[in-house]
A and B are shown apart, each in its own frame.
Chain A
Amino acid sequence: MPALAVVGGRLHHPPVQAVPAAGQDELLERDGELALLEEALGAVQGTGSGRVVVLGGEAGVGKTTLLRRFCEGRERVLWGSCDPLFAPQPFGAIRDVAELAGGRLGELLAADAKPHEVVAELLRQLAGGPHLLVLEDVNWADEATLDVFRLLARKIALAPVLLVATYRDDELDVRHPLRLVLGELATAPALRRIRLAPLGLGSVERLAARHGVDPDELFQRTGGNPFFVVEALAAGTDGVPGTVKDAVLARAGRLDAHAHRLLETVSLLPPEAELWLLERVAGDVLDGLEGCLASGLLAPTRNGVVFRHELARVAVEESVPPNVRLGVHERALAALAEPPGGRRELARLAHHAEAVGDEAAVVELATAAAREAAKVGAHREAAAQLARAVRFGAVRLTPSERAALLEERATECYITDQYDDGIAALEEALAHHRASADVLGEGRVLSRLAEFLWCPGRVVEADRAGWAAFALLERLPPGAELARCYAEVAFKCAGAARGDEGLELARRGVELAREHGDESLWLRCRTTLGAIERGDAGYAELARVIEDAQRRSLPDRAGAAYAMLVQRALSEGRRDLVERYLDEAFAYCSDHSLELFRLYLLSFRARFALDRCDWVAAAEAAEQVIGIERTSISPRITALVVLALVRARRGDPGAAPLLDEAWALARPTGEPGRVAPVAAARAECAWLLGDLEAVDEATAEPLEQALRLGALGNARELASRRALAGLTAGIEPDGRDARAWLDAGCDYEAALCLLDSDGEDDLREALDIFVRLDARPAAAIAARRLRLGGARGIPRGPRRVTRGNPASLTERELEVLALVAQGLRNGEIAQRLVVSRRTVDHHVSAILRKLGVRTRAQAGAEATRRGYVEAG
């Protein structure tokens, strides 16, 4: 057998069965990575709590080879691979794992369980550990598998398992869903990322020497990619082949005729060619199997064979002549339609039907595959399958059948935040309804367009669609379509200073939906009502919707109501409600694969942390949202504003470009809810830089707009920023004073209020707060005002923050600590330092936290022990 050496490869099953015996593989330059894996597994064994390793690298760099070596001889290894299919089978890799793990997992998957249920069972089964769980090529993971990975990684501490996920980092575009997952996991304490680099020249030289090949040429051609290197050496050609494909085909070309045909057949049957399938598709050349295995191009699995590497499969597949290809696909389609187990794999069938060009079969199979995927929460795959069904039904389906598929596709696009695609689907459906004079369908699609168009900020078009639907549907007998339409236009009224009208429409929508619609529509209309209805009544309605939706297993309705509730609570400053619901909502939407709502909630988490002056948490959540390009603009705008403000308040560079992007997204919408937060942030940044004119410029127009549209909350927000620069607004800023802000945990806002005062005590307190919050630019402004007022002892520039001391106490905190150590009470300390009692409270709690003690007495003792204060 040729030296398989460092070849990477795809194994569908655990390494023991699928790999040549140990010792034949030579692993170069991977000692460090093996040691890291060893260390991680050791930590799992030592602590009984799990860890995650994410292993990235380009295709062919040797991720699988490394893991295969690491797994060699170990017990309790579970291994699942993701497949490079268009719209792969939901839970693809997890099905591999279930087969190996046994137990109830397989039953759950067969019963269409949701990802969070699968994870709960997986954790139960892994409890007996320690286990090693490998998920291979998660860049190809279907949405359900990706959800399992994400949830499992988050809960990894609960079971003694080392979870290793590999991915091709050269295949992640900015919109790749794996990016969001990796971003979210980036800060997890039990996670370690490893990146595999190509081989260096030295290793390539060692390999080349044995084959008498020019090492420099080999290195240059292959870039040190281990797979390419080994293929090139195994090709048996004179000189180094120019491409991976040349190398693979040269090796394949040395097989005998039967083996070669079998190899071609296997290349057309991804992800895995089962033996029963090969018998029915290529029974006449099955004797070539041995030659294929001996060549090292194929590897055995539990049920059949696979290519050792996906790169090789693609190279062979592309070389198969069209007539041969068609024959294989036809036979595969027939065979897979009647599998021995009975359960048809729809995604796989659709793949072969498409290759054969059987339009009717593609439409039927893709539609069925879509519904199967949607049932387990794999909405992304469902949307892709429906697109395929529409494409292949272009001729065969009637306009109304196509419209129905398009509307179904739009629903899946909505949940996965692919608005552009959803809008395109709806527009096409609209044309079909119009062509067949289906007014009801036209009205329904227009209502939905109103909702969809709003998300990427196409507000004018959204309004037009909403009212056009209204005009059409009001002429027809009342029904579910009109209810949906009422809910849609109710929102538009509420946003256009026509609140009472909106409320009335929302109520009518609820009534109509109760009479004519299904439960989902009824909950949807109630969500709108809850969003519009003022005061606690609205919150109570939203809370009831959440409960009802959960009871009826309508997670997308519960997610929408959660997002609405938190958004409203946040914008109305209802800290109690935000704290009560935010984490719960986020966990719920995560568990139920509601990507869009998750993104919203993540942006709310960022904003809430910013308001509470937790810069680190705010920046982290905001970065996650910004890291992924999406078509829905609201979460992005929020996140950009938050990150810009974190930077500006800490005095870090780079706020302006973020706000420019947010402004470009928000401004064309003309909506105060989107425009005002950006304008307020621009004003605040301008003020910190001392540019008072820019404060006026940033706020004047948005303020006028907010007042005109009755968005008083937004107007107050802008007024408060204008007040910083001494500008009036025609409306009072938020009525809360510094005490109220401090009570709400919004210390930065409190300090801004205190700055407005001429009193030296207030200014000193503001300065203290800014210094404590590490808000250098605002601290400098406070210090300057104090000096201008004649105050003494105000340091030039920011107070030195003595983070060099291990507990990172500020000078002010050290001062307070000294008095605490003397046994003074907070009131006395406040008098002594001429600051408010509340400021001292804050200092003391910061001190306790930083010293890691619980009582004042312990703090005093600790201060003495560390030598911060004189003993005695």
Chain B
Amino acid sequence: MPRYLIERTFAGEVRIPDEIVDRNEDAGVTWLQSFVSDDGRTMFCVYEAPTPEAIRRAARANGLPVDRIAQVRVLDPHAYG
């Protein structure tokens, strides 16, 4: 399944709803990992999803913002060692 990196900007502190896993499942997406900026207002999330629309659907269900979605693949630094 394609992998996506999602940038989210929050007005205040990052807030993740408790039901996020269920709602993601309903939308057919899987949340793999996230990074949060020091000020706690920007988040970068790695997701597996069938389409960008599925990511937005999940975001709407969870009340999470979406600034930008990029499709990504993994580059392993060891390959450059």
Contacts and interface: CB of A to CB of B under 8 A. Distances in A.
Interface in B37-78: 41, 51-53, 56, 60, 65, 67-71
Nearest to A619: B53
B40 to A, nearest CB: 11
Interface stretch (A260-268, A315-323, A796-804): A796-804
Contacts of B69: 651-653
Given A651-B68, A653-B69, A653-B71, A803 B53 contact: no
Contacts of B60: 616
A653 B67 contact: no
A798 B68 CA distance: 10
A616 B60 CA distance: 10
Contact of A804 (B11, B52, B56): B11
Contact of B52 (A654, A801, A805): A654
B27 to A, nearest CB: 10
Of the listed residues B12, B53, B56, B71, the one surrounded by the most CB atoms of chain A closer than 10 A to its CB is B53
A652 B52 contact: yes
B54 to A, nearest CB: 9
A653 B9 contact: no
Contacts of B65: 801, 803-804
Contacts of A651: 68-69
Contacts of B56: 616, 619, 650, 652
A199 to B, nearest CB: 20
B10 A804 contact: yes
Interface string A624-650: 000000000000000000010011001
A646 B51 CA distance: 12
A653 B12 contact: no
A852 B15 CA distance: 22
A839 B36 CA distance: 35
Contacts of A623: 51, 53
B12 A804 contact: yes
Contacts of A843: none
A800 B52 contact: no
Contact of A653 (B11, B15, B26, B52): B52
Nearest to B69: A652
A308 interface: no
A801 B9 contact: yes
B41 to A, nearest CB: 8
Given A652-B52, A653-B52, A654-B52, A804 B68 contact: no
A776 interface: yes
Interface in B9-34: 9-12, 15, 26
Contact of A798 (B12, B26, B67): B67
A758 B40 CA distance: 40
A654 B67 contact: no
Given A623-B53, A653-B52, A654-B51, A801 B67 contact: yes
B68 A805 contact: no
Contacts of B4: 653
B71 A654 contact: yes
Contact of A647 (B15, B26, B52, B67): B52
Interface of B: 4, 9-12, 15, 26, 41, 51-53, 56, 60, 65, 67-71
Interface of A: 193, 616, 619-620, 623, 643, 646-647, 650-654, 776, 798, 800-805
14 contacts: A616-B60, A619-B56, A623-B53, A643-B53, A651-B69, A652-B53, A652-B69, A653-B70, A653-B71, A798-B67, A802-B9, A804-B15, A804-B65, A805-B11
